[in-house]
Structure 1
Amino acid sequence: MSKFSVFCSKLQLTKILVSMLDAAIASVKKYPSMKIFKTGFTLCIVSAFSMLTSCSSLPEGGREIAVSYEEPARLQFQGKGAGAGFALMSTMGAMGIALGVAIDEGIAKDIRSVVLSDGFSLDGLISKALRQKSKGRLVAVYDREFPAVSMPRLIIERYGFKTTGGENDATSADILVSFVLPDIKPIRVHYPDDFKTNEGFTPMAAPLAALKQDGERGRTLLEAGFNSIFDALALRQPQYF
């Protein structure tokens, strides 16, 4: 349902409630003995109106999911370890395990400058993918330092690109996330590594040189990676997706 449709529905219900209240007041003026009935009727309408307005403050579409990023929280690149910007970085996964990641910051910076151009937002990409895959049941929220215990969480441990070993330095998205729910072990999904055993799977890729020049190519790869991850999570947690 569109925002405009929701607004129209609320407006129609408000008009009905106001009409009912006007009718009750008119009845009391005509029949004073109905004063007690009018008081109770008014309370019912006021309660209904309160529920209507409070519903408008809820996230439209469904349950909130807190999205956060592990440091260094920026697009990374793996695969050209001999590059000038090579460094070994250590991050902590959702399981508390130290992960050694070989990062070529020089190439990452080149790709980052074009992929993150034109107002592109990774938050926007994730929000759109979550909304589509969950059919509107999940609404991404950001900057929640201490989300409620009952709130599902999506932790982006790493995102960026890596070479796949194909021709022309074929490069795919490289994304590692954890889906955290109360009282169960976090579900970690790594794209494309966790999908290599799927029959017929080939990660979407593009030549490295193209990624340095065409931001749209990189954004398409990231979108494909996140969509695959959310498809995998939907199989394991269908009640959310």
Structure 2
Amino acid sequence: MSYSVGQVAGFAGVTVRTLHHYDDIGLLVPSERSHAGHRRYADADLDRLQQILFYRELGFPLDEVAALLDDQATGKADPRAHLRRQHDLLTARIEKLRKMAAAVEHAMEARTMGIDLTPEEKFEVFGDHDPEQYDEEVRRRWGGTTEYAESQRRVARYTKDDWTRIQADAADWGERYAALVAAGGAPTGEAAMDLAEEHRQHICTWFYACSHELHRCLGEMYVADERFTAFYDAIRPGLAAHLKEAIAANADRHTG
């Protein structure tokens, strides 16, 4: 059984020109020729081609590939040693690819809030606040949740204009909530519950689907975690506790 150059090219996923070149330099000389002088490849030739492509995949130059295969063909290299060498080379290649994959995964994870903005754009949007300050903690606590995955997918696409709008919407909400607290509005009042619902919708619109029960849990965290308390109380002293109660009242209103 022998095969034409076109058939071999199809089997191996290489071009006919490549096979012609391998023949010209003596790397893979077909065992047979047809009466018309056309190249015909035997099974042994296909075995050699497989070895050539193996070493080429590992980045070996053609002259080194030829030397390796010729040593094997002439008995200068122990076949078992040749296989061990291939195994070692493959193991090294796998490790290199594993490290490359890890680097790509790290880069994918780095596409978090604002990561694609330039330093200047980040400062324009967030000021002195570092939007990535708690990324590692967030990944550790919620990295396995569907909400985290959804948020990651969304924010990876956001531009500077998107973040500017998000910040502007949040600032406007904060001003109106601070005014409500200053005026003595009750957290269980209609106005406070409406603002709590607006807060939930902001999360749903920009980050992930936030149910009323999940929103209730967030409200609890706003007073349990001093960092969240400080953030909301910086808008208006006592706002974190007020918002927590308004969120709970709003959840009851919609689910009770």
Taking structure 2 as the reference length, the TM-score comes to: 0.30
Larger Rg: 2
Relative to total residues, which structure has the larger strand share, 1 or 2? 1
